[in-house]
Amino acid sequence: MHHPHPATDRRTTPNPALGSFLRSRRDRITPAQAGIHPMPGLRRVPGLRKEEVAGLAGISPDHYSRLEQGRQRTLSDDLCEALARALNLTDVERKHLRSLADPGYHRGGRDRPQQPEPGLLRVMSALDHLPTLLLGRRFDVLAANALLAETLGVTFEPGTSFARWLLLDEAARVRIVNWADYASAAVGALRYQLGRHPHERALTMLIKDLRAQEPHVDRWWHDQTVTDRTSVTKHITHPTGGPLEFGVEAVTLPQSSDQQLVIYTVEPDSPTARALPSLSSCALQAARV
């Protein structure tokens, strides 16, 4: 019995995630934003028509229709770049499109447990005066310092799902003043990770569970937004430290791109900076108990 070559199977297997993402980006951009005159005739949607995106990308309307229908499994780098320009994609959206365009690239071996990157742990130790945590690819906590626990009011043991705490725990909504802004960005980051690792069952099941338990997550997921979690401002209400404001930055190393050192930065001489020494003292006392 003849078996098709695996490469042929990959090309012909549908890619609905790619089609859904392209449709969502097409719907959000108007002809004016794309720098073109709208095609004549009644417009049923505020965004671009398929024919307009096809023209901007330099491909036939039929070819673009196949892409949105998920009928083309992989895309070339040149076609990805042409579509990114046509749809005015951001840098992180371009990376996400590239991941969706070759869903077999990151195949295999991604469900294995992660070990903390030693280099990132050393940086974390040097930043012990700031709240920091090290996250894995499913936003599982690989390490966290005592000041982070004091700031957020929860101790994250290694293996704890930061995503579950943030998106499902009522305490997170109480502690984080701008919870919706930060939580929606986290959902966008989960989408970005799924684009990079579409075959990771644990990640797929995590997202499915979060969507089933929290309507906000399901709604944000349907928005098709992708984020990279960097430069997010987080407003915290602390029972003794009062209102706190942090700039949240994520640091990765080339050899361990699936791990992020998340650092809660502060402006010098700000009220939050002045409150941190007291919070550090509380964290040390709690650690001794």
Q: Phi and psi for 232 in degrees, rounded to 5?
A: -100, 130
CA 143 to chain centre: 20
Low-confidence ranges of the chain (pLDDT < 70): 1-12, 42, 103-112, 229-231, 287-289
Who's near 252: CB < 8 A, 6+ residues apart?
259, 260, 261
Helix, strand or coil, per DSSP, at residue 135: strand
HSE-CB for 289 with a 13 A CA cutoff = 7
Are 121 and 254 in contact, with CB atoms under 8 Å apart?
no
CA distances to 186, 216, 225, 259 from 221, rounded to whole Å, are 10, 8, 7, 22
Q: Determine the pLDDT at residue 12.
A: 55
Are the C-beta atoms of 168 and 178 separated by less than 8 Å?
Answer: no
Is residue 243 within a helix (H) or strand (E), and if so which, with residue range? strand 242-253
pLDDT at 39: 77
**The two three-digit tokens of residue 278, written as one number:** 């007291």
Query: What per-residue confidence (pLDDT) applies to 116?
Result: 92
